[in-house]
Amino acid sequence: MRIIGEFDLKEIKVTVFKYGERFSVKYEYNFMEQTLKFRDGSGINTYADIKTFSESIENEIVKAFDIMEKARMNGLMQFYQDNAEDFDEII
């Protein structure tokens, strides 16, 4: 697998990989990532196709990151509550 290009969608870093006739597109934002994969025959055949496709679904990518961020924050809050040290009550 090799990197064939990178670009930004606002604050999202996009890295495009190619392996044989397949493409993988990794979107990174705020210590999270999403990856989409395209096989030969999917209609995505070039780096330019991937860039156009990514720009067309940018709002959906941002929404998915928002959902991921909320899930991460909720999970961390629950984790901290479940693992909080019990201290003696100070009067």
Model pLDDT, residue 88: 66
End-to-end alpha-carbon separation of the chain, Å?
62
Model pLDDT, residue 75: 94
Model pLDDT, residue 27: 99
For residues 45 and 13, give the distance between their C-alpha atoms in angstroms, rounded to a whole number. Answer: 21
Whether the predicted pLDDT of 10 surpasses 80: yes
Whether the predicted pLDDT of 85 surpasses 80: no
Residue 2 makes CB contacts below 8 A (sequence gap 6+) with 17, 18, 19
26-67: pLDDT as tens digits:
999 999 999 999 998 899 999 999 999 999 999 999 999 999
8-state DSSP, 11: T
For residues 39 and 66, give the distance between their C-alpha atoms in angstroms, rounded to a whole number. Answer: 27
- Locate the domains of the chain by residue range: 2-82
